[in-house]
Amino acid sequence: MAETRHRKPRAVDTLLEKIKNRKARAGVIGLGYVGLPLSMALVEAGFRVTGFDISSEKIKRLNAGKSDIDDVPDERVREAVRSGRFLATGNPKALSTMDTISICVPTPLSKTKDPDVSFILAAMDWVKKYIRKGTLVVLESTTYPGTTEDLILPLIDRKGFKVGADFFLAFSPERVDPGNAKYTTGNTPRVVGGVTRDCTRVAKAFYEKTIPHVHAVSSTQAAEMVKLLENTFRSVNIGLVNEVAVMCNRLGIDVWEIIDAAATKPFGFMPFYPGPGLGGHCIPIDPHYLSWKLKSLNYYARFIELAGDINSQMPEWVVQRIGAMMNRRHARALNKSAMLILGVAYKRDIKDIRESPALDVIKLLEDKGCRVYYNDPFVPHFAWRDGVMKSSRLTAQLIKKVNLVVVVTDHSGYDYQWIVDNARAVFDTRNATKHVRRHRQKIELL
């Protein structure tokens, strides 16, 4: 009788089976605006999740069931910890027990607008040391096309692991929109691209356990490019409408009326709205990753650079408008004026101030000698210059005291009619006062 030979299961089949049965141990490096929502989605899909972070304060807070992310309430974290399926740690040795590792660290720009991948490389210092065979590694941090295969792949290759056989490597861009109650980590479609076909298979199977719609693309470079296209699309269109706002001001036309009228067309037009500048981690930064990469290929991305220039100049234009408004209405110079900034978060109803144009507006006003107060119900204080700037209590007395109220972030909790009623004048960069009926003569729009 011939001896029966049993083939050892392939690593891809073993990992797919673990994912299918939710037996895979999931690791998430970076527990911020991307990593924490992903961790909670994985826990709620039935996985055991270990979150890794370098902040001991954050680790302690999360293990106590407390969240510091707008879109993740404390109760969600408490339940995850209570269930025993979530643990935060700063010990990288725990990576050696993970079946999947998702890298969700920041990717800022340097002062020269070059990509800063130091956080990715720091995460990879952990991964390359402790990764075991049969592990899926997914980079979620936004970056330039080629990062996954140029930076991450060689580091793991040096261990003698073969991609697509001994480990699986993919890119899946995060699509977090802070403050969006409709589209979250749990229902926003995913894009995944792997180094090999099996890499893509495993990554797709992993995300399909938490998200109904996963779209696979041909490569990690394609997946990296998808995210850059999404945010470059927004940046360029916002740049266009910001320039239109400047044009309309010169022409004496209400840009908000123009946009609302154009938006009645049921095809061929998508409304974007002007504002005091771009904020957040993605839209002001991501297009520069693409532009930087293309410069290395001797190509100048004209649309991207032009949109970036227009958007970055908006805070200065806002301050110019404020100065003109003070001269025209009150014959008062900025260095003899007091301003109240309403909202410093980069968008409505969140506490995130990353890249917020409000900070630029405040700095420019202070540099001109203006006395600046701010109120933001979501941001009680923030580090400022050599100290801390604190939110002032929003009272009728304060509103009447300042020369001008400037709406920079249109939080939904503000009573704009009451604000206008009590203000001497209002400069509204977001059209937040569009429903105000009394005292409209006090208002000027961006």
Annotated catalytic residues are 282
Residue 98 CA to residue 18 CA, distance in Å, equals 12
244 contacts 254 by C-beta, under 8 angstroms: no
- Sequence-ordered list of residues with C-beta below 8 angstroms from that of 345, at least 6 positions apart, any chain: 279, 351, 352, 353, 356, 358, 376, 378, 379, 409, 411
Q: What angle do CA 234, 235, 236 make, to 5 degrees?
A: 95
- Sequence-ordered list of residues with C-beta below 8 angstroms from that of 126, at least 6 positions apart, any chain: 29, 52, 92, 95
408 contacts 342 by C-beta, under 8 angstroms: yes
Closest Cα to residue 357, out of 392, 313, 320, 291?
A: 313
Residue found by looking up tokens 């890794």 in the block:
52
413 contacts 428 by C-beta, under 8 angstroms: no
Which DSSP letter does residue 378 get? T
Residue 47 CA to residue 120 CA, distance in Å, equals 24
Residue found by looking up tokens 């000027």 in the block:
444
- Give, in order, the Cα–Cα distances in Å from 221 to each of 118, 147, 410: 20, 8, 37
409 contacts 358 by C-beta, under 8 angstroms: yes
Closest Cα to residue 397, out of 375, 413, 368?
A: 375
Beta strands in 85-166 (DSSP E): 86-89, 100-103, 135-139
49 contacts 39 by C-beta, under 8 angstroms: yes
Local structure of 256: helix, strand or coil: helix
Residue 245 CA to residue 251 CA, distance in Å, equals 10
Residue found by looking up tokens 């229902």 in the block:
187
